Amino acid sequence: MKRIAVLTSGGDAPGMNAAIRSVVRASVYYQIEIYGVYRGYRGLIDGDIEPLYASSVADIIHKGGTFLKSARSEAFKEPKFRKQAADHLKAKGIDGLVVIGGDGSFIGAEKISEEGISTVAIPGTIDNDLAYTDESIGFDTSVNTVLDSISKIRDTSTSHEKPTIVEVMGRHCGDIALYSGIAGGAGTIIIPEEKTTTNEIIAKLNKDRQRGKLHHLILLAEGVQSAASLQEELKKQTGISARISVLGFIQRGGDPTSRDRILASRMGVKAVELLMDGHSNQAVGIHNNQVYHLPIQEALAITKPFDQEMYDLTKILSV
């Protein structure tokens, strides 16, 4: 393998820059020519591909976002556009591609390998919804951003003695809510993996009120319902007017934590080494602090077991 390319795709995540840097520096180290594709698969279809050098990735390890930009491309789901994308790579003599993104991007990486391009996928998503890897790049930073926000929300919630519902991202995965909720001492955590009834929430609020605690932090994963609808339900059934805070895109930005930078650095090098060793269609992951790889299809088929022990912590700690 003499030439490879790297792109970031789908929702961006803090640490993607560190991953690109790692792919570029490892390529230079192993004397492979490295190219950057701008705007994910959309840029690949358009042939928006430029050479990168060790200096191209100087001063980015600490920055959120992705300097290669990210995008979504419906066209890439059509074989004729994937062929067009592969032809752009082949025209430049590129036969390997590193894709940094979430599950949708992984499927794209698998599909373009059918066009004769060797692919390796690196998990970059704050949602932490890829079950084959203990953690994805961006998750730790996102949890810390939420934690910082809820510490501030807690101050004002305590002053005004009001419950606050904090809605966080994660799509169908409750990890951001669960991890930041535990670290932030939330009274209630509501996630898609475990049903919580409104009656249970009310019982918990009432219990706290009886012991004189009027503020109460409810961490709500977006995959369950919106903060506004839960606020309305609580108002209707109890008369309690909870405040709501929808954290939104701040969860996807910011300087990556050391944990995410290190994870990204380890995975980027692994991806280049896999391509050098002739592998294709592989997903890089981490398990028990070991970086490993498995076929993308197998990686995507693994479903996440629910971490009951983690979930039960809240019940015990907010007694």
- The reply on whether position 268 binds ligand ADP by CB under 6 A is no
Give the residue ranges of the annotated binding site for ADP: 21-25, 154, 211, 213-215
Residue from 4, 19, 38, 41 that binds ligand ADP (CB under 6 A)?
Answer: 41
Three-state SS for 312? helix
Give the shortest CB-280-to-ligand ADP separation in angstroms.
16
Strands, E, within the chain: which ranges?
A: 3-8, 33-37, 49-52, 96-101, 118-123, 163-168, 188-190, 216-221, 243-246, 282-287, 290-295
- The reply on whether position 11 binds ligand ADP by CB under 6 A is yes
- The reply on whether position 243 binds ligand ADP by CB under 6 A is no
Tell me the Ramachandran region of residue 15: left when phi exceeds 0, alpha when psi lies from -120 to 50, beta otherwise.
left
Pattern 189-228, binding to ligand ADP, x per CB under 6 A? ----------------------------------------
Q: Considering 12, 127, 129, 260, which one is annotated as catalytic?
A: 127
- The reply on whether position 102 binds ligand ADP by CB under 6 A is yes
- Closer to ligand ADP by CB, 103 or 216: give it: 103
Residue from 39, 111, 204, 215 that binds ligand ADP (CB under 6 A)?
Answer: 111
Q: Is 127 among the catalytic positions?
A: yes
Q: Kindly give the pairing relationship between strand 118-123 and strand 282-287.
A: parallel
- The reply on whether position 105 binds ligand ADP by CB under 6 A is yes
Give the residue ranges of the annotated binding site for Mg(2+): 103
Token digits of residue 21:
């840097």
How many C-alpha atoms does 31 have within 13 Å on its Cβ side?
0
- The reply on whether position 8 binds ligand ADP by CB under 6 A is no
Strand partners, 216: 163
Give the shortest CB-10-to-ligand ADP separation in angstroms.
2
Provide CB contacts within 8 A for 27, sequence distance 6+: 4, 33, 34, 272
C-alpha–C-alpha distance, residues 311 and 313, integer Å: 5
- The reply on whether position 15 binds ligand ADP by CB under 6 A is no
- The reply on whether position 73 binds ligand ADP by CB under 6 A is yes
Residue number of the CB closest to ligand ADP reads 104
Q: Distance of CA 297 to CAs 80, 108, 121, 293, Å?
A: 22, 11, 11, 12
Strands, E, within 19-162: which ranges?
A: 33-37, 49-52, 96-101, 118-123
List helix spans (H) across 30-138.
Answer: 40-46, 79-91, 103-113
Give the residue ranges of the annotated binding site for ATP: 11, 72-73, 102-105
| Span near ligand ADP by CB under 6 A; candidates 98-106, 149-157, 191-199, 293-301 | 98-106
- Give the number of other Cβ atoms within 10 Å of residue 152's Cβ: 10
- The reply on whether position 181 binds ligand ADP by CB under 6 A is no
Residues making contact with ligand ADP (CB under 6 A): 9-11, 41, 72-73, 76-77, 101-105, 107-108, 111, 125
> Which positions are catalytic?
127
